[in-house]
Amino acid sequence: MQNNQKFSAIHNRKASHQYEVLECFEAGMVLVGSEVKSIRAGHISLSEAWVDVSENGELWLVGAHVNEYYQANQFNHIPARRRKLLVHKHEIEKMQKAVEIKGLTLIPLKLYFKKRKAKLEVAICRGKKQHDKRQDLIAKDDAKKISMQP
């Protein structure tokens, strides 16, 4: 039986509030079958996730929680495991240099499928200060008030 629901991208909503996005990259993901089915069903959380660059030049998605697929039985995956990301070598070097700078980190923004392959949008981000977050909320409220006026 086929699921007729259309998959929409999974967004990390906390990222836009807590971080200032400087540059984005598209990365492929190494997944097992039950993870793909669970992600297509929308059972993934990116809110606590980040991307780590290992010593041997590999990218890993850490802290993302993919719920177990209920029909996979004994062949299920580990929900909170590290997942390898696939990007070009020059992009890994660029990300590694950015992470070495104090205050910059790699955050997953969006997970989507492109030509039946899972893709993750990874961004180099800088954490926002508390006053920056307040200013963003004030600007958003003002824009909402202006759009509601006749």
Structure confidence at residue 3 (pLDDT): 52
Predicted TM-score (pTM) of the model is: 0.77
Structure confidence at residue 77 (pLDDT): 66
Residue 33 covered by a domain = yes
List, in order, residues 6 or more apart from 12 with CB less than 8 Å away. 46, 47, 49, 107, 108, 109, 110
Residue 82 covered by a domain = yes
Contact 12, 125 (CB under 8 A): no
Report the distance separating Cα 65 and Cα 77, nearest Å. Answer: 11
| Span 88-123, pLDDT tens digits | 999 999 999 888 888 888 999 999 989 988 899 999
Structure confidence at residue 102 (pLDDT): 82
Token pair recorded at residue 14 = 């906390």
| Domain hosting residue 38, numbered range | 11-148
In three-state secondary structure terms, 139 is helix
Residue 30 covered by a domain = yes
Structure confidence at residue 5 (pLDDT): 54
Residue 91 covered by a domain = yes
Q: Residue 23 maps to which CATH number?
A: 2.40.280.10
Token pair recorded at residue 127 = 């954490």
Low-confidence ranges of the chain (pLDDT < 50): 1-2, 4
132 alpha carbon, distance to own chain's centre: 22
Residue 110 covered by a domain = yes
Structure confidence at residue 69 (pLDDT): 73
104 alpha carbon, distance to own chain's centre: 16
Structure confidence at residue 1 (pLDDT): 38
Residue 115 covered by a domain = yes
How many domains is the chain partitioned into structurally?
1
